[in-house]
Chain A
């Protein structure tokens, strides 16, 4: 069997895909696994090679002329076509797209031509988005910022690929030896995720005064200036500056023997998880640690939407407590090592509220959430809207000339959309409804009506179940 796995998003996502690739290799030992990543991030795909062939999607070659300000669309299409045909010639038996992006759905469809079994986003014959499996539908409806998913992206990717992860998939480089030293990643891919230099300085000064552990600074070339700025303010012979000096494999070698990794939500954090290195995650800015935090049991997450609001004293206290194998978890989320829900939150006002209770009940068999206050009334209103919508769909199906009904249905959807945006606890219900409605593929008139009707009925079913007493 020949399997193609696509991961065409970013560096961190490639590292988060490694456990799924390892599980695929374990599950299908005879399979020939091909892995397609963007060339720019390909070095991250080389840290472990649970595949037989690495394909590099060369955006610069495909779009190079556009990027330098010249070139025609025809040239771009010709190059794209060549790449697709090259991949097609491999005659894959199965394609797993773990990218969840519009372009990857087209690429998947262009390779598969509806002839190859596919998991993950693809396209219908008439080019609408096709979400062929439940885990991908879950991603579309519930995953991402400002949503309520708490399932880790590593687990979701394995759900899409239909493989079960074991510890060795998550931490393939972990070693069971005495570990020493702290590794710190100073930067992050975005400013809003980066802890300020002044905070690092305060932290390092306290650490150097009280701990004997060596401190290795790591990072990309982009972090060199930040490292120099910090180092000029710290007097310590315990700090080793390796910023801009390590390959991914060297980074893994450093992390697998380190006692602790400290850093923001970025590529090195995922490398630390692969290396089995306990992590203190500085979860800053617009990120969702539930989905992308550390996976080594005993790791902790400190959350702050504003990077400067995370005090260096708090980071120091948690760092010290982790080095001492302590259990002072307050104001943090602790990685439990459980695959269902990887973190347990220990107090603190920094953890944004969400509607996980609703999502947990909808998708994972959790207890039915108890809605109080105005929420039962809101559910009743949703039920009324769905009742009217079903009647209108039926009327339009019977008489196509009643075009005014389309306007009524649009207005009803507008009401549901307003409720989705303004009533967070019920938003997962309406996210699911919206996703399923958008996913209705073009078909015969009757098919489209029936599927639209079913979307409203499914929403009504969810709402009714929530209202049931007992």
Chain B
């Protein structure tokens, strides 16, 4: 089977040459090992830069809004689910996007690898099937990709594109036999005091850089509630009360929309466990309204509709 990167390049070149798209959004080699960065190409000779590996972690759906031209996008499972969300919320037009779907085996988490290396600097990384060979000044180490996946990739059950215009390579086997909400359930089982303690411990790390919001493909409000000054909903400092409300409300805004791509958590410089909140909401939406975000273009988002028989035990 030819290399995925080569197939992506060929597809991109063909699309650009045939003028079926004006722009291709994909990944290119980053400046650091194990770090790919988004790549925007408009000419077919530039398409040589495109690559595909286990560090193509960014959610490229973020770059699709407010574009005039027709865009081809290299997208993995979670990116495509975000694209579906954006189409349903009428932020992008299906006709305007050409989806180059890439089945994904999960992306590796550089921070986990760095933690294992205990301060040693990675100067080079090579991928071979299921392993990555890391090279540094005085060490060479082979690691298994599977052990260093992002948390969101570990619980992913949509590794294959849900919709696409062209599929690169063969579909991969979906994750199976695991409980997606194991962490949420464990958290739920703790006492209320413990839960509040762990929540405040997490959010007290927050420096209010809003990287989570900026990385999220679904956070596209013209004016975010944290930026609004009339009314000024919450203070702008790292006051614990303000930070807690920021995280609660940001998570709440993703209700029925979050596809658990993990972009927020990857973007967080302080390593806050943001998915603890979004995953809980995802679980509730599934249990209460039987809805899963980003799997179909037809169903109505759960908070845009209702059922007269919705559960209401909590209402007196």
B and A form one assembly:
no
Chain A residues in contact with chain B, CB under 8 A?
none
